Structure 1
Amino acid sequence: MSIAANHELTPQTNTGRPGRLILLNGTSSSGKSSIAEELLATLDGAWFHLAIDRFHSVRARRDWTEETFLPVFQRTVLGFHRAVAGMAAAGNDVVVDHILGERWRLEDCLTVFDGLPVLFVGVRCSLPELERRERERGNRTIGRAAVQFPLVHQHGKYDVEVDSEHNTPAECAALIRDRLGQAPPAAFDELRSAHGFLAVD
C-alpha cells in the first residue's frame, strides 16, 4: 500500500491516549525476539517491535577501549528507553525486547515509562538451555547469557512470566495476550514503590 504525499494529520492519528508497552525482559538467547514476532503476528492493531540489540547494531564501529565505550553504551540504552517512550507517547503500541541486567536500566525505565501502560513480562529459560542455544546459533557471544543469567530477574516482580524452554514462542505469546486482556498491569507501579519513586500526579 502506498500513501500519497501532502496528507494532513487525520483525526485518527492523534488518539489522545498513549500506546501500550509489552516489555519482554530476559537474557540473550532466551527467545524474546521470537516471542515478539508471534505477538506482532497475532495482536490486533499496528504493534511495533523495538529491540535493544538493534539499537546497538546501528552504532558506528570503532576500536573502543572499555573506558571510552562504557559511556557510549550507556547512552545507547538511555536513548533506547526514550525512543520507546516517544513511540508510545505518540499512541503507538510497542513490544519492547530488553535485557535489564543492571539496576540503573530498570530504574531508568521506571522513570521514563511513568504514565505509560507497561505489561512487564519475564522470559525465563534455564542456563544449560541458554548455553546450548548460544552454541547452536553461531552468531552469539559465548558466555554472555551466563553473565546475564543471575542479574536480569533480580527485581523479582512481573505481571506475567513465560518459560521459553518448555513452551513454544506461540505458546508464550498466547499467555502474554491473555494477561494483556485482564486487569491493568501493576508490576511497574509496585517496583516504583519498592525503589522509592514518588508517584507523579
Structure 2
Amino acid sequence: MTTGSPPLRTDVVVLNGGSSSGTSTLIRQLQELLPRPWLTFGVDSFIESLPRSLVTPEASATAPGLGLAPDGSITVGPVFRALQTDWQEGVAAIARTGTGVLLDEVFLGGAEGQERWRRTLKGLSVLWVGVRCAPETAAAREAARGDRVTGMAASQAELVHRGVTYDIEVDTTDTDPATCARLIAAHVV
C-alpha cells in the first residue's frame, strides 16, 4: 500500500464574489469555524484605505484611481493598480509568516484578477472559492445595505467569475451563510 504525501496546510483562502454576494459574511463565519486564527483582508478595506482623491464618483478611462459610476460600473486607473499590487504583496507576506489569510475579493477582470493573485501568492497553498449569488438577490441585498452604488451587485454577479477557476463554489442565493461556510471549511487543511 502506498501513501501519498499529506495535503499542504492551507495558507490562503480566496473568496471571489460580486458586490453583496455574501463573501464578507462567509469570511466571518469561517473565522469562527476554522480551528486556528485567520486574519481577513478584503478589497473593500483596501479601497477604504486609499486617499479620497483616488476614489471618484464617475468611471473614467483617464482617472488615475478608482472610478465608481452611478450605474455601478467601475474603472481602475494606473495609480490604483500600482497601490493594489503593493497591498497584494503585503497580504502575501503575512501569509508567508504562517498566519492564515482569508481574502475577500472581487475579480472585476475575471481571470486576469485571479492571475494577478496567483503570481503574488506563488509558493503558498491557496484554496480558490467562488461565491455566487443570483443578480436579483445580490441587487436586493445591495438596496437593503444602502452603502453601495445601485447596479454594482447586478453588474458584478457574473462578471467576476468569467474565466476564473475554483477549487469549490458556493451559491448564497438560497443557502444560508453557515452552511456555505461549512462547505468551504471542509476543504481547508
The answer to whether the superposition gives a TM-score over 0.5 is: yes
Q: Which residue of 2 aligns with 1:93?
A: 100
In the alignment of these two chains, the number of paired residues is: 165
Where has structure 1 moved over 4 Å in runs of 4 or more? Answer: none
For the residues of structure 2 that align with 1:75 and 1:98, how far apart are their CA atoms? 17
Separation in 1 of the partners of 2:178 and 2:158? 26
Q: What CA distance in whole angstroms lies between the structure 2 residues aligned with 1:76 and 1:40?
A: 27
| AA matched with 1:46 | P
When the two chains are superposed, the root-mean-square deviation of aligned CA atoms in Å is 1.9
Contact 2:135 2:155 in 1 (8 A): no
The partner residue of 2:50 within 55, 59, 66 is 59
Higher RCO (CA 8 Å, separation ≥ 6 residues): 2
Describe how 1:37-116 pairs up with structure 2 within 5 A: 37-62=28-53, 66=60, 67-69=63-65, 70-102=77-109, 103-116=111-124
Match runs of 1:138-153 below 5 Å: 138-153=146-161
Q: Which of 133, 136, 145 does residue 141 from structure 2 map onto?
A: 133
For structure 1, the residue ranges without an aligned partner over 5 or more in a row are 1-16, 182-201
Question: Secondary structure at the residue paired with 1:96?
Answer: strand
Are 1:177 and 2:185 an aligned pair?
yes
What TM-score, normalized by structure 2, do the two folds share? 0.80
Confirm or deny: 8 A CA contact 1:160 1:176 kept in the other structure: yes
- TM superposition shift of 1:71: 1.6
Separation (CA, whole Å) in 2 of partners of 1:81 and 1:52: 10
SS at structure 2 position matched to 1:150: helix
Structure 2's unaligned 5+ residue stretches are 1-7, 66-76
Q: Give secondary structure in 1 for the equivalent of 2:14.
A: strand
Shift of 1:18: 8.2
Compared CA separation, residues 110 and 42, structure 1 to 2 (3 A): same
> Contact between 1:20 and 1:93, CA under 8 Å: does it hold in 2?
yes
Q: TM-score, normalised by structure 1?
A: 0.76
Name the structure with the higher strand share.
Answer: 2
Contact 1:28 1:99 in 2 (8 A): yes
Taking a change above 3 Å as real, the CA distance of residues 87 and 77 of structure 1, as seen in their structure-2 partners, is same
Larger Rg: 1
